Amino acid sequence: TFTCILKACGSMRAIDKGKQIHNEIVSRGLLEKNIVLGNALVDMYAKCGMLVNAWKVLNELPVRNVVSWSALIAGCIQQGNDQEALYCYERMRSEGLSPDAITFTSVLKACGSVRSFDLGKGIHEEVVRKGLLRKDTILGTALIDMYAKCGSMLKAQEVFNELITRNVVSWNAMIAVYTQLELGKEALELYYQMKKQGLVGNKVTFVSVLDACANEGLLGEGQTIHALMSKCAYDVDVIVGTAIVNMYNNCNSLQDGKRVFDLLPERNIISWNVMMSGFVRHGYGNDAVLLFDRMQSEGICPNVFTFIASLKACGNMGSINKGIQIHEEI
């Protein structure tokens, strides 16, 4: 019962209830003889961002296993403490414990974040030795992502080619690699290969391929993808909508970009900045400044990129008074 409730507390970030249950477990002496319960406590504290408490519980466990350490490693990564996650991994190995696929997946994410290519490559070799890559698409995708973040395109492609089964996530990881390296045509080719395999793209897929079209100025391809999303009644949220606006703006179809922008059910600061930058890039400084004022009237607070775009617009128009006004806001 306690194990199930602790899992719920972790999912809901209900730290107060979790602590209450922890106290009851200790008062009953249950922690000394149940490693599953101990692991659930570590996991609950880690998911709630209470890493100090998670460490304390783990250190007090009479026996620790791979699950205990994996929960703490995942918690560290969730909180952005990638170096601490790698330290936990080394501690786990020093205790003679052999990582499983879940552990490796988490540690590879940390390796990618801190650009630890050598450790990531070592884990790749161990994964291959254990035969884990053949039956775990999630682990394969983590390897692709790690190599991509470490700047090793060839190794990322090598892992992708070796995957026996590929799902949308693994295809997305590889498409994103090409897009980030501004190899838009290669990214689109992968997208079409994925479609031939009968896989339907998701939000991540469409954002990547739209960015690929934007980078290459491929208006026709971008329009086709946008039309496909409309035909399938795909739910366009603020992230996908902003990618569509950016694609049209970069492909010299500013009016289409503005039309999509105006129809977005929700806009964030990135959406406004993308549209404003589009106006500036195409010489519509006055429209950019009007958009700047409209954004603020809707309660959106400008950031650095907003101010850069609006000041460029003022410079292009020779509008010194508006530029001074914006400067004073900064």
User: Is the predicted pLDDT of residue 233 greater than 70, yes or no?
Assistant: no
Report the distance separating Cα 208 and Cα 145, nearest Å: 14
How big is the chain, counted in residues? Answer: 330
Confidence of residue 216 (pLDDT cuts 50, 70, 90): very high
Which CA distances in Å does 75 have to 57, 78, 178, 233? 14, 5, 30, 37
Q: What is the pLDDT of residue 164?
A: 85
Q: What is the pLDDT of residue 278?
A: 94
Averaged pLDDT for residues 247-255? 95
Confidence of residue 322 (pLDDT cuts 50, 70, 90): confident
- Percent share of the chain, pLDDT over 90: 73
Confidence of residue 84 (pLDDT cuts 50, 70, 90): very high
The per-residue pLDDT for range 259-300, each reduced to its tens digit, is: 999 999 899 999 999 999 999 999 999 999 999 999 989 988
92-96, 213-217, 311-315: the lowest-pLDDT one: 311-315
CB 36 within 8 A of CB 66: no
User: Is the predicted pLDDT of residue 247 greater than 80, yes or no?
Assistant: yes
Q: What is the pLDDT of residue 32?
A: 80
Averaged pLDDT for residues 58-69? 92
- Rounded to the nearest integer, the mean pLDDT of the chain is 92
Averaged pLDDT for residues 70-78? 94
Confidence of residue 319 (pLDDT cuts 50, 70, 90): confident
Among 66, 48, 13, 6, residue whose Cα is nearest residue 31: 6
This prediction has a pTM of 0.77
DSSP assignments along 134-178, one per residue: GG-HHHHHHHHHHHHHTT-HHHHHHHHHH-SS--HHHHHHHHHHH
Averaged pLDDT for residues 16-37? 91
Query: H-type helices in the chain, by residue range?
Result: 2-12, 15-27, 35-47, 51-60, 66-78, 82-94, 101-114, 117-129, 137-149, 153-162, 168-180, 184-196, 203-216, 219-231, 238-250, 254-263, 269-281, 285-297, 304-317, 320-329
Rg (C-alpha) for the chain, rounded Å, is 25
Confidence of residue 121 (pLDDT cuts 50, 70, 90): very high
Q: What is the pLDDT of residue 44?
A: 96
The per-residue pLDDT for range 183-195, each reduced to its tens digit, is: 899 999 999 999 9
At residue 246, what are phi and psi to the nearest 5 degrees? -60, -40
Q: What is the pLDDT of residue 17?
A: 96
